[in-house]
């Protein structure tokens, strides 16, 4: 098959549907929610929007058809995500985190686990079902695969004496969706836990499905400067008991974390591209009409024209790298750990600078809250920091892949498969004090 950047007719229709939904339904609700001082009220205000997204199949479109999902490819999902994030990147994070919680059941779970949870999620057309992804902790998660059991993931899950369940003690900080619409818990949260107190991060980690209403779990909402239309919480476990059949990826929680953040990398990258595109769209319209006190619109000035050209080129380049990373993962069953990491770090960092360049074109009026630029700027600050963090886990994963002797600069250009192994983990982990 030749290199081809054409969208299929189905993808063009998906783009049109997502754009109409974003502009007509999401935008007005997101603007109101962003101005809401209570972070939980802001999230709750998005529930009617989520219900309409569920009715359109957007909330679980990434799940396979055999589980009731939309059967969308990774590239398909990006087409929709760009349109949503062009008006608000917080709300689509709810959809992304649904995937971070549900997709690992297909990779590491049993057929019973995947069938029970994923089918229940896909069957929801009223916007009630939420899935949470809980890996980050207050003490930091960048060194989650540290060789010492005293570092990295510290949410401990001990098998009880009967062997029928795990008892959890500890805390997760920043889980998205996990509090649920009413702070009684998401329908299910996928939690990365330490199941072996004596082993390091490559052997001692697993994952547990924590159901809504589990006794011993408390939720406290985090008040954020941006992405206010999605929910982040501190999740505290005090003797919470989870059935043993809810365990997956036993001893391979590290691989689950890496594969999950590989899957999400092009999605988070496209979210950054979408936001930058939204800022660019406003800026281009501004430059075509605003005169700056002169007699002609500022787009006729060379400095403005040159900067707009750079802005447009960076957005185009970012989009195509997202498509490439997603296409590679579609072709190679979720691999592409280095390519996904490169995609996330480049787009997350680059699009933040693109949004600021848009503000330079608009000028001091970009600070006026009557216009969307101040919000775009706040939202752009999120992308280098979330989804495994550009300075930490994302770059480190790419580093580990490139250190493998089998990797070459042609690997991704040639679309060659390249599986990720435990031997590629741990690069850059700090194991002793300097």
Confidence band (pLDDT; 50, 70, 90) for 3? confident
Q: Residues 19-57, buried b or exposed e (16+ Cβ, 10 A)?
A: bebbeebbbebbeebbeeeebbebbbbbeebbbebbebb
Q: What is the largest CA-CA distance in the chain?
A: 81
Classify 251 as helix, strand or coil. Answer: coil
Residue 1 counted as domain residue: no
- The predicted model gives 75-81 an average pLDDT of 98
Beta bridge partners of 236: 171, 218
User: Nearest 5°: phi and psi at 287?
Assistant: -65, -25
| Highest mean pLDDT, choosing among 213-217, 423-427, 428-432 | 213-217
Burial class (CB in 10 A: 0-12, 13-18, 19+), 338: buried
Q: Quick check: 149 and 66 in contact, CB under 8 A?
A: no
pLDDT at 430: 77
Pair (84, 175) in one structural domain: no
Pair (33, 144) in one structural domain: no
Pair (86, 179) in one structural domain: no
pLDDT at 342: 97
- The predicted model gives 241-257 an average pLDDT of 98
Confidence band (pLDDT; 50, 70, 90) for 27? very high
CA 53/CA 84 separation, integer angstroms: 11
Mean pLDDT of the chain: 96
pLDDT at 373: 97
pLDDT at 1: 53
**Helix-strand-coil split of the chain, %, nearest 5:** 50, 10, 40
pLDDT exceeds 80 at position 421:
yes
Q: Cα dihedral sign for 331, 335, 339, 345?
A: positive
Running DSSP on this structure, what letter comes out for residue 246?
G
Cα distances from 108 to residues 104, 130, 141, 193, in angstroms, run 6, 20, 21, 15
- The predicted model gives 265-292 an average pLDDT of 98
Pair (258, 405) in one structural domain: yes
Pair (286, 413) in one structural domain: yes
Q: Which of 201, 233, 252 is the last residue in one of the domains? A: 252
Pair (294, 419) in one structural domain: yes
Pair (415, 329) in one structural domain: yes
CA 266/CA 384 separation, integer angstroms: 13
Pair (285, 414) in one structural domain: yes
Pair (165, 244) in one structural domain: yes
Q: What residue ranges in 74-138 does DSSP mark as E strands? A: 131-134
Domain range for 40: 9-130
CATH for 406: 1.20.140.10
Residue 261 counted as domain residue: yes
pLDDT exceeds 50 at position 434:
no
Write out the DSSP string of 6-37: PPPHHHHHHHHHHHHHIIIIIHHHHHHHHT-S
Neighbours of 171 (CB within 10 A): 16
Q: Quick check: 260 and 387 in contact, CB under 8 A?
A: no
pLDDT at 431: 75
Residue pointed to by tokens 């300075």: 391
Confidence band (pLDDT; 50, 70, 90) for 300? very high
Residue 136 counted as domain residue: yes
Pair (51, 199) in one structural domain: no
Confidence band (pLDDT; 50, 70, 90) for 102? very high
Write out the DSSP string of 190-243: EEEEES-TTS-TTTSEEEEEEETT-TTEEEEE---SS-TTS-EEEEEEEEEEEE
Pair (208, 270) in one structural domain: no
Number of domains composing the chain: 3
CA 138/CA 235 separation, integer angstroms: 10
Residue 36 counted as domain residue: yes
Q: What residue ranges in 245-356 does DSSP mark as E strands? A: 247-248
Q: Which of 252, 287, 320 is the last residue in one of the domains? A: 252
Classify 363 as helix, strand or coil. Answer: helix
Q: Specify the length of the chain in residues.
A: 434
CATH for 138: 2.40.110.10
pLDDT one-digit tens code per residue, 338-369: 999 999 999 999 999 999 999 999 999 999 99
Two structure tokens written together for 44: 């709750």
Two structure tokens written together for 110: 């049993």
pLDDT exceeds 90 at position 406:
yes
Confidence band (pLDDT; 50, 70, 90) for 108? very high
Q: Cα dihedral sign for 266, 272, 275, 276?
A: negative
pLDDT one-digit tens code per residue, 33-60: 999 999 999 999 999 999 999 999 999 9
Pair (368, 267) in one structural domain: yes
pLDDT at 394: 93
Two structure tokens written together for 156: 């401990």
CA 158/CA 171 separation, integer angstroms: 15
CA 201/CA 142 separation, integer angstroms: 11
Q: Which of 204, 223, 252 is the last residue in one of the domains? A: 252
pLDDT at 432: 63
Beta carbons within 8 Å of 5's beta carbon, 6+ residues apart: 320, 323
Residue pointed to by tokens 């994952």: 207
pLDDT exceeds 80 at position 262:
yes
């Amino acid at each position: 098959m030749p290199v081809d950047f054409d969208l299929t007719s189905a993808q063009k229709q998906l783009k049109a549907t997502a754009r109409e939904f974003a502009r007509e339904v999401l935008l007005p609700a997101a603007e109101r929610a962003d101005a809401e001082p209570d972070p939980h009220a802001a999230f709750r205000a998005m529930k009617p929007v989520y219900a309409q997204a569920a009715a359109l199949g957007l909330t679980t479109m990434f799940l396979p058809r055999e589980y009731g999902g939309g059967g969308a490819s990774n590239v398909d999902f990006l087409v929709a995500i760009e349109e949503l994030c062009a008006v608000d990147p917080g709300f689509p994070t709810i959809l992304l985190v649904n995937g971070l919680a549900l997709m690992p059941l297909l990779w590491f779970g049993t057929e019973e686990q995947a069938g029970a949870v994923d089918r229940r999620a896909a069957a929801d057309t009223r916007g009630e079902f939420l899935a949470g992804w809980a890996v980050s902790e207050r003490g930091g998660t960048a060194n989650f695969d540290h060789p010492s059991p005293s570092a990295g993931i510290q949410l401990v899950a001990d098998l009880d004496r009967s062997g029928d369940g795990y008892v959890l003690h500890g805390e997760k900080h920043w889980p998205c969706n996990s509090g649920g619409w009413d702070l009684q818990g998401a329908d299910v949260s996928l939690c990365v836990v330490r199941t072996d107190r004596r082993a390091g991060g490559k052997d001692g980690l697993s994952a547990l499905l924590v159901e809504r209403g589990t006794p011993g779990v408390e939720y406290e909402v985090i008040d954020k400067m941006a992405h206010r239309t999605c929910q982040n919480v501190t999740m505290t476990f005090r003797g919470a008991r989870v059935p043993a059949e809810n365990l997956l990826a036993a001893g391979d929680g590290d691989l689950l974390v890496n594969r999950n953040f590989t899957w999400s990398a092009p999605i988070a990258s496209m979210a950054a591209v979408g936001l930058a595109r939204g800022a660019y769209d406003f800026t281009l319209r501004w430059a075509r009409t605003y005169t700056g006190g002169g007699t002609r619109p500022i787009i006729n000035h060379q400095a403005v024209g040159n900067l707009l050209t750079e802005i447009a080129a960076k957005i185009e380049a970012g989009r195509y790298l997202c498509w490439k990373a997603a296409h590679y993962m579609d072709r190679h069953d979720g691999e592409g750990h280095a390519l996904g990491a490169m995609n996330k770090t480049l787009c997350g960092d680059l699009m933040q600078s693109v949004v600021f360049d848009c503000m330079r074109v608009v000028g001091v009026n970009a600070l006026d809250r009557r216009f969307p630029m101040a919000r775009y700027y706040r939202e752009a600050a999120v992308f280098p920091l979330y989804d495994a963090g550009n300075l930490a886990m994302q770059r480190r994963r790419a580093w580990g892949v490139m250190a493998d002797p089998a990797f070459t600069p042609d690997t991704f250009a040639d679309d060659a498969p390249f599986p990720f192994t435990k031997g590629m983990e741990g690069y850059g982990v700090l194991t002793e004090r300097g």
